[in-house]
Amino acid sequence: MAKVEIYTWRACPFCVRAKQLLDRKGVEYVEHVIDGDEAAREAMAARGSDGRRSVPQIFIDDQHVGGCDALHALERSGRLDALLA
């Protein structure tokens, strides 16, 4: 199984939606809750492929996938399962 990490804020509806998709698929993930932690947000942005500071940001096997919309787009296209395998 792939290593999945998601950077979130507790009250973020897009974070909740992304986690719900992962939960429905039975995916175990590490959640980094970075509410108000500017240093953690900078580290997340530096780690990503495009420097985004918005949450959620999702990584699968250390590959930056993007945010909630990107995760759902992968699911719709049928490519998410292959990344998670």
Give 3-33 pLDDT, tens digit per residue: 999 999 999 999 999 999 999 999 999 999 9
Give 34-54 pLDDT, tens digit per residue: 999 999 999 999 999 899 999
Burial status of residue 70 (CB atoms within 10 A of its CB: 0-12, 13-18, 19 or more) = middle
The H-assigned helical ranges of the chain are 13-24, 38-47, 68-77, 80-84
CATH number reported for the structural domain that contains residue 43 in this entry: 3.40.30.10
- How much is the pTM? 0.95
Full residue range of the structural domain in which residue 37 is found: 4-84
16 contact partners, CB below 8 Å, separation of at least 6 = none
Smallest Cα–Cα separation from 41: which of 27, 30, 52? 52
Residue with tokens 């973020």, as numbered in its chain: 12
28 token code pair:
């175990």
Task: Count structural domains, the chain.
Answer: 1
Q: Is residue 77 helix, strand or coil?
A: helix
